[in-house]
Amino acid sequence: MSLKRIVLRDFVIVQELDLDLSGGFTVLTGETGAGKSILIDALQLATGGRADVGVIREGTARADIRRRVRHVARSGGLARHRRL
């Protein structure tokens, strides 16, 4: 499985973020407080982690995390890509 995109709305301090990860290798960099850990937390939730109401941005009713992945099936040592 390969993560291609993640979209956040009203998650912690993020109002809206649409991050395209389909370009290959991705590195997160930034100063303290830039939101790197928030993105990692969102990725954990998007892959089945648990959350509490503390992840909902203040003043909003709910948070939304969406992800797009590409599944790769392997057969006989060859990879077959399934289009989503």
Give the CATH number of the domain where residue 75 resides: 3.40.50.300
Q: CA of 28: how far to CAs of 45, 52, 57, 75, 77, in Å?
A: 18, 25, 22, 33, 32
Q: What pLDDT, on the 0 to 100 scale, is given for residue 19?
A: 93
Counted domains in the chain: 1
pTM reported for the whole predicted model: 0.75
* pLDDT the model gives residue 81: 47
pLDDT value at position 72? Answer: 74
Question: Which residues of the chain are under the pLDDT cut of 50?
Answer: 81-84
Q: What is the pLDDT of residue 68?
A: 92
Structural domain containing residue 54 = 2-82
